[in-house]
Amino acid sequence: MPEPTASARVELRCSGSGGQGILLAATIIAEAATALGRRVVQTQSYGPEARGGASKAEVIIAEEPIDYPEVRRPDVSLVLSQAAYEKYAADTRPGGLLIYDSGLVEADPGAAGVTHCGLPFTQVATDELGKKVVTNIIALGALVARSGVLPADAVEEAVLSRVPPRFRELNEKAYRLGLRLAAGAADAETTTKDGLTPTTAPAPGS
């Protein structure tokens, strides 16, 4: 796992369909970064429907003030639906990381210079925890482990302070499951071998 670089700017995009908890996952990353004293902007985009549709939630973490708040070339993409994959995956910055739910997304590993990492988040949530609802937290754990954008314990703290007390244990399990899942997995398909360095990717337009 690459060491988080304190001075770097990193842009993340979580996408899926409404109801999958991608906004919560993005918010938790943003809260963890806030607690670490970083500059943070989190934005979102979704349609008028409460469930379904392709929606996204984005986070920019930086040391300098963040002006334009949206993410166009994410260093790290998390994709939890086929529709979101088709709409957003190609935006991932060359040299970046694309994490997706391998049970829900048929990915094209040919995407230029992007490390693909497919893991069965939804299936693991159902099989191991009996709760599909924590798919987003498992995916969050995997994202943190694979990308190294923030220290894993800082994000865990943010997970636990976000969820109601009675769901803490479940979410703690889910998050750690995600960390382990990513640590144990080789890249599903890898098109770049020069290693994953999303935290040192240049800022857009710089």
Partner 1 sequence: MAISVTEAAKAGVPVLLQGNEAVAEGAIAAGVRFYAGYPITPSTEIAEVLSRRLPEVGGTFIQMEDEIASIAAVCGASLAGAKALTATSGPGFSLMQEMIGFASMAQIPCVIVDVMRGGPSTGLPTDPAQGDVMQARWGTHGEHSVIALVPSSVEECYTLTVEAFNLSEQYRTPVIILSDALIGHMREAVTLPHPDKLRVAERGMPDCDPDEYDTVSSTIDNILPRPPLGSPFKVHVTGLVYNRRSGAPDTADPATAADLGRYLREKIYHHRDAIVRVEEVEMDGAEVAIFAYGSVARSAMAVVKKARAQGARVGMVRPITLWPFPTAAVARMAEQVRTVIVPEMNIKQMSWEVEAAVKGRAKVVDYGRVDGELITPEEILELVKPEFYYHRWEDT
Q: State which residue, 128 or 157, has the beta carbon closest to partner 1.
A: 157
191 contributes a contact to partner 1 by CB under 8 A: no
48 contributes a contact to partner 1 by CB under 8 A: yes
11 contributes a contact to partner 1 by CB under 8 A: no
Q: State which residue, 39 or 173, has the beta carbon closest to partner 1.
A: 39
* Binding mask of the shown chain, residues 53 to 92, with x at each position contacting partner 1 by CB under 8 A: -------------xxxxx-x--------------------
For residue 133, give both structure tokens. 């609802």
Q: Which of 47, 52, 94, 202: binder of partner 1 (CB under 8 A)? A: 47
Q: Do the bridges between strand 52-62 and strand 115-119 make them parallel or antiparallel, or are there none, so unpaired? A: unpaired
Count of residues in contact with partner 1, rule CB under 8 A: 27
172 contributes a contact to partner 1 by CB under 8 A: no
What H or E segment, with its residue span, contains residue 173?
helix 168-184
First to last CA, the chain: 25
Q: Are 198 and 149 in contact (CB under 8 A)?
A: yes
Phi, psi values for residue 52, rounded to 5°: 80, -170
Q: Are 8 and 200 in contact (CB under 8 A)?
A: yes
Q: State which residue, 49 or 169, has the beta carbon closest to partner 1.
A: 49
45 contributes a contact to partner 1 by CB under 8 A: yes
Q: Do the bridges between strand 10-18 and strand 52-62 make them parallel or antiparallel, or are there none, so unpaired? A: antiparallel
Which residue is associated with the tokens 């995997």? 142
Q: Which residues, in sequence order, are bridge partners of residue 97?
A: 76, 115
Q: Which of 30, 163, 179, 196: binder of partner 1 (CB under 8 A)? A: 30
Q: State which residue, 9 or 116, has the beta carbon closest to partner 1.
A: 9
Closest approach, Cβ 14 to partner 1, in A, equals 13
Q: Which amino acid, residue 26?
A: A
